Amino acid sequence: MTALWTSSAIAQSVQGAVSADFEVNGVAFDSREIGSGDLFFALKGEQSDGHLYVDNIYAAGGAGAVVSQPVDGPHILVSDTTKALNQLAIASRARTDAKIIGVTGSVGKTGTKEALFAALNRASMGKAHRSVKSYNNHVGVPLSLSRMPAECQYGIFEMGMNHAGELAQLTRLVRPDVAIITAIAPAHIGHFSGVEAIADAKAEIFQGLTHEGAAIIPYDSPHYERLRKAALRSTKKVVSFGFDEQADVRAIDVVPAQGGGSLVTASFRDDGDGDRSLCFTVAEPGKHWVSNALAILAAVRAVGGDLASAGLALAELTGLDGRGKRHQIELKDGGEALLIDESYNANPVSMKATLDQLSNESCRGKKIVVLGAMGELGDKAQAYHEALADDVIASGAEVIILVGDEMVHAQAQLLELVSEQLDHVREISHVAGSSEAVTKTILAEVTKKISDEDILLIKGSNYLGLAKVVSALVSGEY
């Protein structure tokens, strides 16, 4: 197998001094992720210093390290390891002929990135690369670029932000041939003046587009024209996707698929010989996933990929941990229940989409929701949490467990709605805080209430730790 990097190529890229010749097959900045033959970047942060773990990485089989002070073991000495990581990322991007796709958005970017990888990896017989997990920030993106093999045909990179200017820096590293914005929502709105400012910050992704690159944007978004104008400042090729008949890639028919998900017929506007269409299945349920699929197909088409392979990949998708994965969990009192894991993140738009989908779920038992507070909403937090009440009621949830201090606003609104008109809601409870004790409280509440053939939805911002509740329920260790 060809090495990912040689020590001489790394040193040349980062302008460092090599202590000994070596080759690496992977790159990491977390010593716990080091495997045999990996390169370790000893990054210095406010809370930690990677140099303290260099001995550990050699013991784990690491082939070498990039350091800013001499160490015992093969290494490349530089003045600034964070700068060196960015330099290696730039070198990685420069040496490849792969078609590169950048993905951002307030919701759906990780799922879209994973689905794009599945589609393009299938078509290229394993020659696609993508950022893993949610490595989408100022260290995750250059790390993901540095891991990209020179000979790959496609690279898919997720880019995130919570402040203006961040995406502009990331996209200039990635230099995408195609840039996707999945959707605009009031995520991180506490750091912005409004949703329009979030749209502007997301549109920074277009600034890194290569010559004749393509911008892919949601036609159904109220910010479509704003995004389109921003894209046109960087490219002439703007492709829209959505459900409106004016979208370039649009869903002309959507029906429930056998076994779940959606059967979709999509139309592709073609300036040459008329519209084309493709019928395919999206395994993941929900209108938001149909929208994501349209963006995926637009990107596959833009890089010259195989649309039929993309359709097959979408039919085979399974949910991601924390982002819609479904588990049949065995209950200690007997029977099984469906657990829908949306524990990774939450904002007003993703909450609404998830609760809308729950309303469409058929359930022989009852519907239980564990909903965590939405973070970084600033002075609009109370209004957004109060607004959840209507969607929670419409979801058909009978048992509602709200988690986090700001969910007290949703609880008050729900109690008012239930007292006025509803009798299907059996119980509404609220658990404040975000600690280990809270996790135990939620588990105790859920296990008392859940029974055979119920559906349990768990969704909330990552800082609340609801993933621990999911893990305990799936493993049966509670």
**Nearest CA to 354 among 363, 365, 366, 345?**
345
Domain spans in the chain, listed from the N-terminal domain onward: 5-80, 96-316, 325-475
Instruction: Tell me the CATH number of domain 325-475, given options 3.30.2180.10, 3.90.190.20, 3.40.50.1100, 3.50.50.60.
Output: 3.90.190.20
Enter the CATH code of domain 5-80.
3.40.1390.10
Beta-bridged to residue 427, according to DSSP, are: 399
The token pair at 141 is: 């993106």
Q: Which of 157, 143, 18 is nearest to 88 (CA)?
A: 143
Cα–Cα dist 294/319, whole Å? 18
pLDDT of residue 273: 53
Write the single-letter amino acid at 331: L
Q: Position 23: which residue type?
A: E
Q: Are both 96-316 and 325-475 of the same fold?
A: no
pLDDT of residue 280: 96
Please state which architecture CATH assigns to domain 96-316: 3-Layer(aba) Sandwich (3.40)
Distance CA 71, CA 10 (A): 17
pLDDT tens for the 478 residues of the chain, in order: 689 999 999 999 999 999 999 999 999 999 999 999 999 999 998 888 999 999 999 999 999 999 999 999 999 999 999 999 999 999 999 999 999 999 999 999 999 999 999 999 999 999 999 998 878 999 999 999 999 999 999 999 999 998 999 999 999 999 999 999 999 989 888 889 999 999 999 999 999 999 999 999 999 999 999 999 999 999 999 999 999 999 999 999 999 998 789 999 999 987 655 678 999 999 999 999 999 999 999 999 999 999 999 999 999 988 889 999 999 999 988 899 999 999 998 999 999 999 999 999 989 999 999 999 999 899 999 999 999 999 999 999 999 999 999 999 999 999 988 876 656 788 999 998 767 778 899 999 999 999 999 999 999 998 899 999 999 999 988 7
